[in-house]
Amino acid sequence: MRLSQMLFVTLREDPAEAEIPSHKLLVRAGYIRRIGSGIYAYLPMMWRVLQKVSQIVREEMNAAGAQETLLPQLQPSELWKESGRWDTYTQAEGIMFAFPDRQKREVALGPTHEEVITAVARDMIRSYRQLPVNLYQIQTKFRDEIRPRFGLMRGREFIMKDAYSFDLDEVGMKESYRKMHDAYHRILTRCGLEFRAVDADSGAIGGSGSQEFMVLAAAGEDEVLYTEDGQYAANVEKAVSLPPDAEPSPFEKFEKRDTPNTPTIESLAKFLNCSPTAIVKNVLYQVVYDNGKTVLVIVSIRGDQDVNEVKLQNELTKLAGQYGGKTIIALSVPSAEEQQKWAAKALPLGYMAPDLNDDYIKPLKDLEPKFLRLVDKTAVDLQLFVTGSNETDRHVVGANWGTQFKLPPLQVDVRKASAGDRAMHDPNQTLQTARGIEIGHIFQLGTKYSKAMGATFTSEQGEELPFVMGCYGIGVSRLAQSAVEQSYDKDGIVWPVAIAPYQAIVVIPNVNDTDQVSAANVIYTELSRAGVEVMLDDRDERAGVKFKDADLIGIPYRIVTGRSLQQGKVEVVRRATRESQEISIHEVVPTIKRWLEEAVKG
């Protein structure tokens, strides 16, 4: 492609809206253009990158035995009501764009396709003989993200590859899952990314096991904890570990103490000269279930530990039935305004005890009149501990469960694992931390959707059984941007060769020099004929501008028809290393071909 004929616009300045390097670079280099919040135009070079990523995804999906399909983006609400996710997606998370059509029927723009695909399988797959089946599509998804940001990383409209497997039984599903796991490894490797597969929380999608594929980069929104032996890696939302041992409490008997101005664990430990591991802290949460019921929750946990809200949400979801609900609409530490709505009197914040009296809760409709009390495992075995007294500026020391405080019957693991903790599988290993960008997520769904939607097949024994399903997503547009986040320098993007929009760029330093122009034309034509994807910078611009642009857009190999033409030579430069050499014009095609082969094998 000739640059003089392309929509080719680069910017000198970083766009004001962009915070992270990949976003700035993609906008500056003319790959994407913002149209609205979380909405982007993929300009021609970006579209080429996205098609290359899609093609790698497609090849690996096909090789794993999955079949490509295309499902509707417009989805009727009935399907989502059958699966029980309409309320979660329209109200709780509120992530689905949903609206009535002209006939006043509710429809939504697909944020994901479990419902649609399960409906298709229910209609089309009747017998065990038709199983297993794995269907995938590459398509735009819509999600009304609360904080769209970082360009394509978190858009409200983005490209996803989603695949869904249907099996006879659990064993079959695990095999389908393994195939997808391996395919994801190959996809990310072929795209030239540095990544890690980690244990993950399954969130609103549901099901049993799941793993995320994380591209490692400082700008990642996720934290990954892993061990150096390579045996363990998990998203911090899901991670488990051994907490540090508690230090013995320095207090011998139970008493109440004045502890002025000690609302935080740090200030309290300092004041009492004890370890935070000798303290039980009591954290207040407020959960709203989908039936509108609000429950106030007190979590007692060891002072040095923090609550992992994803784990807490999972525990509270298990208890939903007890309060007449199915799912959670909101979980938060209640704000001052929220407290005012339900607190009968001022709460002793920072000084709460595990037994904070239920009379702090006003009798209100849709409000559970009693606190739900949970204790994290780290606090269960503590003895002679310090905790709140329910009076501001006072704590108790030397307390024991079973004596001064009743041990809550609900003992849970809701602590947040953190870097430096000992690993479960080998206490000699400590957890290390890294930032990651979630590129893919694979789930063992089981029968959650097939049961809810009555999607069954007839087994060999003649029984009607629900499909055992898996689902597998890759953020195609997020992946493309992550590649930039992992590979750039001060001058611009350094695309991995396999997904670069073009493989080579021929630069004519001076378009008024006919020798330069004709040599460039010959090289451009020969490279194109040899199957190299090549650009020709034939614009009437200064050489410096062209070199800057070529660096910015990150094309892997550059050929310059400059001064050495007199010796029948051109300069070839590798973008990633900036290695430059002069080679004869006839060597250009074989050299670039060889470099390409070396770069994209594996």
User: Which segment (24-32, 42-50, 435-443, 529-537) binds ligand ATP by CB under 6 A?
Assistant: 435-443
Backbone phi, psi, residue 398, to 5°: 70, 30
| Binding of ligand ATP by 441 (CB under 6 A) | yes
Residue closer to ligand ATP (CB basis): 24 or 441: 441
Task: Enter the tokens of residue 479.
Answer: 């992946």
| Binding of ligand ATP by 309 (CB under 6 A) | no
Residue closer to ligand ATP (CB basis): 438 or 549: 438
Residue closer to ligand ATP (CB basis): 33 or 593: 33
User: Which segment (277-285, 303-311, 321-329, 432-440) binds ligand ATP by CB under 6 A?
Assistant: 432-440
Task: Enter the tokens of residue 84.
Answer: 């029980």
| Binding of ligand ATP by 501 (CB under 6 A) | no
HEC states along 195-223? EEEEECCCHHHCCCCEEEEEEECCCCCEE
Say how many CA atoms lie within 13 Å of 83 toward its Cβ.
Answer: 25
Say which DSSP state 88 is in: I
Burial of 154 (0-12, 13-18, 19+ CB in 10 A): middle
Residue closer to ligand ATP (CB basis): 180 or 507: 180
Separation of alpha carbons 470 and 133, rounded Å: 11
CB of 533 to ligand ATP, least distance (A): 26
| Binding of ligand ATP by 473 (CB under 6 A) | yes
User: Which segment (8-16, 184-192, 253-261, 439-447) binds ligand ATP by CB under 6 A?
Assistant: 439-447
Among 8, 89, 142, 158, binds ligand ATP (CB under 6 A): 158
CB of 110 to ligand ATP, least distance (A): 11
What mask, x for binding ligand ATP by CB under 6 A, covers residues 196 to 215?
-------x------------
Among 52, 85, 122, 143, binds ligand ATP (CB under 6 A): 143
Among 151, 155, 470, 509, binds ligand ATP (CB under 6 A): 155
Other beta carbons within 10 Å of 432: 14
CB of 553 to ligand ATP, least distance (A): 22
Picking from 359, 363, 297, 370, the residue whose alpha carbon sits closest to that of residue 332 is 297
Among 109, 439, 572, 573, binds ligand ATP (CB under 6 A): 439
Among 34, 58, 149, 154, binds ligand ATP (CB under 6 A): 154
| Binding of ligand ATP by 145 (CB under 6 A) | yes
CB neighbour list of residue 452: distance below 8 Å, 6 or more residues apart: 82, 83, 84
Question: How do strand 432-446 and strand 210-216 relate by DSSP bridges?
Answer: antiparallel
Helix axes 170-190, 44-63, angle to 10 degrees: 140
What's the one-letter identity of residue 96? M
CB of 66 to ligand ATP, least distance (A): 16
3-class SS shares of the chain: helix, strand, coil, % to 5: 30, 30, 40
Residue ranges binding ligand ATP (CB under 6 A) = 112, 143, 145, 154-155, 158, 160, 203, 438-441, 473, 475, 477-478
